[in-house]
Amino acid sequence: MQPIKLVHDGIQYSRDNVSEEKYQNFVLITNEALNTRDFTVSGFPFMLQVEPTSLCNLSCILCPTGRRELNRPYRHMRLNEFRSLIDDMERYCSFSFFGIVENHL
């Protein structure tokens, strides 16, 4: 188990005790990103931000969800979609459940 830390645009991303596979993927993509002009990498994201719903029952004027301006379906993520995402990516990355909308409404 290894820790990973990265500062990008002033934001610090860190995870403690990630698996060796996640750590190797992180080292691969950060080294590639720093050493290519176009930031092309051959690994996987080390962190995924998952927004499990695009629904909200409020309509805050500052929010594209509230203004109904999102260019995507308004619905919850389906369980099979969520499982597929986890199955495909859990070996390589960590997840956070956060997005534009209020995921805990």
- Interface residues with ligand SF4 (CB under 6 A) are 56, 58-60, 63, 65-66, 101-102
Smallest gap from residue 62 Cβ to ligand SF4 (A): 7
Residues in Cβ contact with 105 at an 8 Å cutoff, skipping those fewer than 6 apart: 53, 55, 56, 57
Smallest gap from residue 5 Cβ to ligand SF4 (A): 30
Q: What is the DSSP letter of 27?
A: H
Cross-strand pairs, 97: 50
Nearer to ligand SF4, 24 or 54 (CB): 54
Smallest gap from residue 22 Cβ to ligand SF4 (A): 30
Smallest gap from residue 56 Cβ to ligand SF4 (A): 3
Bridging pattern class, strands 47-50 and 94-97: parallel
Nearer to ligand SF4, 67 or 91 (CB): 67
48 and 89 Cβ atoms separated by less than 8 Å: yes
Nearer to ligand SF4, 51 or 90 (CB): 51
Q: Can you say how many angstroms the Cα of residue 54 is from the centroid of all Cα atoms in its chain?
A: 15
